[in-house]
Amino acid sequence: MNIFPRKRLGQHWLRDEQVLNTILATANLGTDDRVLEIGPGTGNLTAKMLPIVSHLTAVELDRDLCQFLAERFSATHFQLIEGDILNTPIPGDITKVVANIPYNITGEILRLLLGTISKPVRQFTTIVLLVQREIAQRLTSPPGNSSYGAMSVRCQYLAECEWIKDVPPSCFEPPPKVHSAVVRLTPRPFALAPLHPPHLERIVKLGFAQKRKMLRNNLQSLGDREQILELLSSLNIPPQARAEDLTIEAWIKLADQTIGSALLS
């Protein structure tokens, strides 16, 4: 079949053997693993995983690619689903996710796989993704870094986030306009548990609402200026601090201190 990447679907097929092998090694696949692959494309990564895993479920939106994949792979432990991953129920026995995901829905896919602070997903032991480099920076950035934002706090709260390898545009067909990176996410409960996760979610969103503003200004809806300054001081947070300066532990303590206090009245 003559299969060509479709620009409207943001298709960029990974063809570099070294990067494919890096993804495979990072996922540490075994014979007991049941894997989900999102957007398999022409199946270059699929072909490397199938001989190893117990079962592989691939979800592909492109009908022509589905026909191509169905002809290429006939293994009984391979399940191909034609559809949008955001509207496709994920089988409950999937243990790992390994994928070169569509960059235009990266945020939605991260929420699907990791959940939210108030409703975390704990189904997967390992998630290995090929993402846009900018997203990799946000996922792995420490506090104080310009890339550290609300996504950083949410994802690092939900999982251990590791930057594995840079991937240049030349590794794809066609080459994208952006650089990429392989990341590994390992879902786990965060060491410090917040008293009320939905409130932590709200505080993080509020704190990063206008990132360049000082945190005290972003939190002004919680109380008057003196109350907020007193709160920050009690947590050893400088009055000039911005949201990007706070560790996840600091965000949790900030959220816990504002539950049921006058700041919420």
73, 95: one domain: yes
| CATH code, domain carrying 72 | 3.40.50.150
41, 157: one domain: yes
32, 66: one domain: yes
138, 179: one domain: yes
Average pLDDT over every residue of 208-212: 89
The residue with greater pLDDT, 90 or 263, is 90
162, 222: one domain: no
Choose the final residue of a domain: 187, 211, 241.
Answer: 187
Q: What's the pLDDT score for residue 265?
A: 43
Q: What's the pLDDT score for residue 12?
A: 81
Is there a domain that residue 220 lies in? yes
Is there a domain that residue 253 lies in? yes
Q: pLDDT (tens digit, 9 = 90+) per residue, 237-252?
A: 999 999 999 999 999 9
Is there a domain that residue 192 lies in? no
63, 27: one domain: yes
Distance CA 168, CA 170 (A): 5
Is there a domain that residue 1 lies in? no
pTM score of the predicted model? 0.93
44, 145: one domain: yes
Give the residue numbers spanning the domain of 66.
7-187
Q: What's the pLDDT score for residue 111?
A: 98
245, 156: one domain: no
Distance CA 108, CA 50 (A): 26
Is there a domain that residue 55 lies in? yes
Half-sphere exposure of 183 (CA within 13 A, CB side): 27
Q: pLDDT (tens digit, 9 = 90+) per residue, 33-70?
A: 999 999 999 999 999 999 999 999 999 999 999 999 99
Q: Mean of the per-residue pLDDT values for the chain? A: 93
- Report whether pLDDT(24) > 70: yes
Q: How confident is the model at residue 211 (pLDDT cuts 50, 70, 90)?
A: confident
- Report whether pLDDT(10) > 70: no
Average pLDDT over every residue of 158-175: 96
Q: What's the pLDDT score for residue 264?
A: 46
- Report whether pLDDT(158) > 60: yes
Choose the final residue of a domain: 187, 215, 235.
Answer: 187
- Report whether pLDDT(261) > 60: no
How many structural domains are present in the chain? 2
State what percent of residues in the chain have pLDDT above 90. 86
Is there a domain that residue 2 lies in? no
Q: What's the pLDDT score for residue 13?
A: 81
Average pLDDT over every residue of 14-32: 97
Tell me which amino acid residue 77 is.
H
Query: Of the ranges 6-10, 225-229, 261-265, which one carries the lowest mean pLDDT score?
Result: 261-265
Q: What's the pLDDT score for residue 7?
A: 64
Q: How confident is the model at residue 1 (pLDDT cuts 50, 70, 90)?
A: low
| CATH code, domain carrying 252 | 1.10.8.100
Q: What's the pLDDT score for residue 107?
A: 96
30, 132: one domain: yes
Choose the final residue of a domain: 144, 168, 187.
Answer: 187
172, 60: one domain: yes
